[in-house]
Structure 1
Amino acid sequence: MFDNIKPLLDVRRDDHVLHVRLNTPENGNIVTEPLLDELISVLAAVRTEPGIRVLTLSGAGDDFCLGADRHEFDRLIAEDPSGALIQNLGVKARQVCDGLAMSSVVTIARVHGRVIGAGVAFAIFCDLRVGADDCRFRMPELALGLPVAWGGALPRLVHEVGAARIRELILTGDSFDAETARELTVLHRTAPPDEVDAVVAGWIRPLVRRAPGALRTTKAALNAHAGASRFADATLLEGDLLASVLAARHYARGVVP
């Protein structure tokens, strides 16, 4: 079922565990619309596979993920200054992040190297998160002239980390290391690079022994307590916000459709 999910992802099933690896190391695993499409396909397939209990998300090469593709943003707004293409991209980003958080399986982020922007979003929406002790995190959107409006990351970060610390990190755009990420609970665990896989394996072993029904209902209960009402969720408008900012920048450059 997962054989057609390539080449942007490397997907491997090991009994009750699905290993998903971002697989464009040549560009730092930047997040593009085709990558989002493949992740949406994987998460949809997981919903039809009751045997899968754990999904791990990692990245190939030197970095976990260098964030969203800003060149794609510029191209999409140039193709359609109304912002419809950007809005659609925002919907897909939200689908992936919601899919990681709301999936009935336990999702584990295994991060290393640089974890930037959308890469932070991918990690923070996973249930469990471990990082190599030499990895670096950054939320650079404001410095790039963009709102933090991707995948619903802002409320998730506020919920997982706390408003005061996230406000500082977003407003300053400062990078932070793995130990700080652990203190903030962006990461649950840190380990030397050659021991990160052992941490992941240590989490997987008891999870695959849990009764499937109990695992699903426990995760659903955790999500219910963590989630705000979607009717009051302002991040549902993130695509519109991102489109309006990019359109304004597009016009400011003197580009008229």
Structure 2
Amino acid sequence: MVEDFKALHVIAEGPVLKVRLNSPETGNAVSGPLLDELLAVLDAVHGDPAVRVLILSGAGDDFSLGGDRSEFPGLLAAHPGGAGLHALGNKARRVCEALASTHAVTVARLHGGVIGAGLGLAVFCDLRVGADNCRFRMPELGLGVPPAWGGVLPRLLSEAGAARVRELLLTADNFDAARAAELSVLHKVVPLDELDNAVARWTKPLLRRSPAALRTTKAMLNAYAGAGRLADATFFDAELLTAAVAASEAARERR
């Protein structure tokens, strides 16, 4: 896979594709351009059955400190009716859906801050291993916006359970790697210098599995998870995000 990526660093090692968020100077902020590049990678993986495992990681001290809020004023100025924000919200949803539905097994390699949209990208991966220095947070309420990014709320409800997610959202508190493992946000916690070995211990047996059986098993898991929901309100995430950000920016300008 040869692309002129700026926000990502992508390396193909046979059937393993390593995708690294590569803007450490911003804390790997999840921006529109980064989402565009992730979509390009995931579209390419969709058309390439040779890719068996995709490993998502972050450069620098943090996996990702969340969404790039510096984009919002410019998007509102260019599209006062909110079309730019709406498009950004839909793009986030498409990336998360592609992470969940790709035939490749997706592995999140996490360290440092895993915040907001960064947590959203992580929980849409099939397997998640975190260094013991991880810190997690869902800061949306503290920022005056609802948790309407990429369909992350139903995914978290499915993975961690309603009571626990309710606490995380309403308090917007930080939680560490040990707590993340209790919540099933992480499958495994290891020392920072053991992260790559932990990923390899998952990757090697995955590559020995029948590709057809692996694809079918992943599709079955996704289907059963979806069948457990009475309704999927994530269709409205982009609308909710647009309205909340527009109101927040308007209030800030009035101060």
Confirm or deny a common fold (TM above 0.5).
yes
CA contact (8 A) 1:87 1:240 kept: yes
Deviation sequence 1:97-148 (CA, Å, 0-9, x none): 1111111110000000011000100110000000001110000010011110
In structure 2, what is the equivalent of residue 139 of structure 1?
Answer: 138
Q: What does 1:35-184 align with in structure 2 at a 5 Å threshold?
A: 35-184=34-183
CA contact (8 A) 1:116 1:139 kept: yes
Q: What does 1:208-247 align with in structure 2 at a 5 Å threshold?
A: 208-228=207-227, 232-247=231-246
The alignment partner of 2:96 has SS state of helix
- Name the aligned partner's letter for residue 41 of structure 2: V
Deviation sequence 1:170-203 (CA, Å, 0-9, x none): 1101000000000110000000000011110000
CA contact (8 A) 1:78 1:250 kept: no
Distance 2:232 2:248 in 1: 26
- Name the aligned partner's letter for residue 33 of structure 1: G
Distance 1:254 1:238 in 2: 24
In structure 1, what is the equivalent of residue 192 of structure 2?
Answer: 193
- Name the aligned partner's letter for residue 227 of structure 1: G
In structure 2, what is the equivalent of residue 20 of structure 1?
Answer: 19
Distance 1:146 1:79 in 2: 21
- Name the aligned partner's letter for residue 250 of structure 1: E
TM-score (norm 2): 0.96
Moved more, 2-11 or 86-95: 2-11
Q: Kindly tell me: are residues 88 and 228 of structure 1, through their superposed partners in 2, closer, same or farther at Cα, counting changes over 3 Å? A: farther
CA contact (8 A) 1:5 1:41 kept: no
CA contact (8 A) 1:117 1:139 kept: yes
- Name the aligned partner's letter for residue 95 of structure 1: R
> RMSD of the TM alignment (CA)?
1.5
Distance 2:253 2:173 in 1: 31
- Name the aligned partner's letter for residue 194 of structure 2: E
What is the CA-CA distance between 1:227 and the residue it aligns to? 1.4
What is the CA-CA distance between 1:78 and the residue it aligns to? 2.6
TM-score (norm 1): 0.95
Distance 2:236 2:69 in 1: 19
Q: Kindly tell me: are residues 245 and 228 of structure 1, through their superposed partners in 2, closer, same or farther at Cα, counting changes over 3 Å? A: farther
The alignment partner of 1:65 has SS state of coil
The alignment partner of 1:94 has SS state of helix
Distance 1:251 1:189 in 2: 42
Deviation sequence 1:64-97 (CA, Å, 0-9, x none): 0010011112221232121111110011101111
- Name the aligned partner's letter for residue 252 of structure 1: A
| Unpaired runs of at least 5, structure 2 | none
Distance 2:186 2:4 in 1: 28
Deviation sequence 1:10-65 (CA, Å, 0-9, x none): 00011110000000011110010000000000000001111111000000000000
What is the CA-CA distance between 1:231 and the residue it aligns to? 9.8
- Name the aligned partner's letter for residue 245 of structure 2: L
Distance 2:25 2:3 in 1: 21
Distance 1:87 1:228 in 2: 27
What is the CA-CA distance between 1:254 and the residue it aligns to? 5.1
Distance 1:130 1:200 in 2: 7
- Name the aligned partner's letter for residue 127 of structure 1: D
Identity level (%): 59
What is the CA-CA distance between 1:250 and the residue it aligns to? 3.2
